[in-house]
Amino acid sequence: MFSKPFVASFEGHEDSVCSLERIRGRLGCIASAGFDGKIIIHSLSRRVTIQTIYGAHRGKISGLAMAQGDRILSAGHDTSIKLWALSLPNTDDGDDAENTISDNTRQDLMAVDEPPEREPSKPIVVYPGKTPFNSIHHHRYEPLFATASNGVHVWDETKTAPITDLTFGGASETVDVVRFNMAEASVLASVGSDRTMCLYDIRTGKAEKRIVMQMRSNALSWSPTQPTVMLLASEDHNLYTFDIRNLSTPSQIYKGHVSAVTSCDWSPTGTEFVSGGWDRTVRIWHEGDGRGKEGQMYHGKRMQRVLSTLYTQDARFVLSASDDGNVRLWKSNAHERLGVLDTRERNALEYRDALKKRWKYDNEIGKVLRSRPTPKSIKSAARLKRTMEDAAKEKEDRRRKHSRLGETNPKAERKKLVIAVND
């Protein structure tokens, strides 16, 4: 109840931050990009900026993806993809011969409100495109990456033109997000503005399956422990988990947001996931807990609409990028103590957690565990949403009551979501 999940805030962007990416092999490093055309590499442990790539793109950078080695791909609305070399320290602490500066100098640099203007950095390779790119994701093992624009295209790092066009036949809308499967790396999925979710296989070079939903999805994420499970963040304020072996109905619906959900990401453990939405909140969900009763809800007075969320590689922290130009670091477990714990303290904390788990079904104790400090605006929006849902349910009951017997049978909410499945 009295936990403080907020850890730190990373500044440096002059506009909205819309993309976050983990640095492969670096536990304490992440990359961020936004509408200001700048890429910043942050050190989470020392809370400083490791590297800044000025003028990476003209306008919005819509996606980041780690390539093989210490290189990163960026895709922008300027119809180009660029491959950059990263100057990373030898350790996560930031101690490197090239980047080592004294503490006094670092404090002086951090005290400057606006960094001096610098010349744009030069990329290793530039991949020209014909339309603005909305998303990019790299293959886990091979030097391939996929992009989403007016279609889904697969690129080779050694070639400046796409090698495969995976666009579903008859699809003419914009593709918003594309993601490779983490276990079966040749399978990828995409969501588009035409309310569809498509599955592709780069081995066959074609789309395998497509579903049409009631409302469009804004983000998707593959489960790291269950290769057939994917998570969708929808415009209807909900999140859905699907098993690709049966796409006719979602396996679970997660309700809690009061506005459109814009981002989602699985924990490396596969037991939790984080989501961010237009309601300016970050929520952590336990798999299978559709109502989020045991999850966490993070918010701040200055935090605006959340555009991207990300788990760290050790699953201890959560990152959020919002419309106010800040990247915020939160604890994935709000009441977890940071720092080194001796054996006695660790045993005491484990004993308290065991007590809470044992007595969580008690009315009074469960009420304390489920209590969440909620902003007044979220409460008002949730109250209005419940009123609208109750009115729609009552209208459906009245229509069924005044119809012929068997003409309008009640339909489960899960079965209403998917309109069509195309093979």
The 10s digit of each residue's pLDDT in 272-282 is: 999 999 999 99
CA distance 195 to 4: 38
Encode pLDDT of 175-217 as tens digits.
Answer: 999 999 988 889 999 999 989 999 999 988 888 899 999 999 9
Helix (H) or strand (E) holding 347: helix 343-358
The predicted model scores a pTM of 0.86
Encode pLDDT of 258-296 as tens digits.
Answer: 999 999 999 999 999 999 999 999 999 998 877 665 568
When pLDDT is averaged across residues 293-310 and rounded to a whole number, the result is: 86
Angle at 358 between CA 356 and CA 359, to 5 degrees: 70
The predicted pLDDT at position 94 comes to 47
CA distance 88 to 98: 9
pLDDT above 80: residue 107 = no
The predicted pLDDT at position 112 comes to 43
Structure-token pair, residue 252: 């679970």
When pLDDT is averaged across residues 291-317 and rounded to a whole number, the result is: 86
The predicted pLDDT at position 231 comes to 95
The predicted pLDDT at position 205 comes to 85
The predicted pLDDT at position 327 comes to 94
Q: Which residue has the higher pLDDT, 89 or 363?
A: 363
Encode pLDDT of 4-27 as tens digits.
Answer: 889 999 999 999 999 999 998 888
The model's confidence at residue 117, banded by pLDDT at 50, 70 and 90, is: low
Give residue for tokens 């949403």: 385
When pLDDT is averaged across residues 389-410 and rounded to a whole number, the result is: 87
CA distance 272 to 264: 11
pLDDT above 80: residue 255 = yes
When pLDDT is averaged across residues 387-402 and rounded to a whole number, the result is: 91
The predicted pLDDT at position 180 comes to 94
Are 237 and 385 spatial neighbours (Cβ–Cβ below 8 Å)? yes
The predicted pLDDT at position 68 comes to 87
| Neighbouring residues of 112: CB distance < 8 A, sequence distance ≥ 6 | none
Q: What is the mean pLDDT of the chain?
A: 86
Supply φ then ψ for residue 312, to 5 degrees: -75, 165
When pLDDT is averaged across residues 83-87 and rounded to a whole number, the result is: 91
The model's confidence at residue 119, banded by pLDDT at 50, 70 and 90, is: low
The predicted pLDDT at position 111 comes to 45
Residue 108 CB-half CA count within 13 A: 5
Are 320 and 308 spatial neighbours (Cβ–Cβ below 8 Å)? yes
